[in-house]
Amino acid sequence: MSATITAIEADHEDPNVRHIYVQETCVATLTVSEIKKLEIVLNQEWTDALLHSIEDVQTNAQTRSIALQLLSRRAWSKKELADRLIKRGSEASAASIITKELEEDGWLDDFAYAGACLREWIRVEPASRRWLTHKLSGKGISETCAAQAIHEALGDQSEQDAATELATIRLAKVSNLDEPTQRRRVMAALQRRGFSSDVASEAIRRAN
């Protein structure tokens, strides 16, 4: 004779929690929404397949809880969060499922996150599109999303104009130095922000 679910009892402390019994044994503890999702009912046959489904739901619920804790502290890209969940011990499949759900629920938004990162990075000093794309890639932002976010952040500003703006800022900081040293330091700063040698040289010429 196959085992069946003989009772679904409410938790004494949490009205949103139910305990699933097979005969006298509690075989699982689930939320009301999880029971509804799994379509668990009284007198249902208790099978290995149902047990595995319950374990998957519980794993995902635990992963989601960790994800929400992380999101309460700061913003993340979808890939960043998935990677962090895996480092915290979550299964890759659960991390993928949960980050997708959080994206659909509006908790994750790579475009908005990319925009916030860009505003922070160029708040004080301009940078090249190449440098910004590389930085966003490191945050797990796709190339397409990065391109859209950079276009919104920079508008129609050209690379040369951005480089010239940076050169002007940097030259003001080293104005007390001799001209060769000024040029060398500003050139290095421009290249660190991703501008090519030709663009950087022209920027220094325009800024002088």
- Model pLDDT for residues 77-102, shown as the tens digit of each residue: 999 999 999 999 999 999 999 999 99
Say whether both 143 and 165 belong to one domain.
Answer: no
Percent share of the chain, pLDDT over 90: 98
Number of domains in the chain: 3
Say whether both 127 and 165 belong to one domain.
Answer: no
Say whether both 168 and 134 belong to one domain.
Answer: no
Q: Is 95 within the bounds of a domain?
A: no
Q: Within the chain, which residues score under 70 in pLDDT?
A: 1
Q: CB of 166 within 8 A of CB of 121?
A: no
Distance CA(98)–CA(114), nearest Å, equals 20
Output the pLDDT for position 1. Answer: 56
Give the closest residue to 140 by CA, choosing from 97, 70, 80: 80
* CATH number of the domain enclosing 206: 1.10.10
pTM of the model: 0.83
User: String of b and e for 84-104 (b: at least 16 CB within 10 Å)?
Assistant: bbeeeebeeebbbbbbeebee
Q: CB of 174 within 8 A of CB of 184?
A: no
Residue numbers of the domain that contains 19: 1-46
Out of 29, 46, 63, a domain closes at: 46
Distance CA(161)–CA(36), nearest Å, equals 59
What is the tally of helices (H) and strands (E) in the chain? Answer: 10, 3
Say whether both 164 and 205 belong to one domain.
Answer: yes
Give the closest residue to 28 by CA, choosing from 13, 11, 12: 11
Say whether both 153 and 173 belong to one domain.
Answer: no
Q: Is 10 within the bounds of a domain?
A: yes
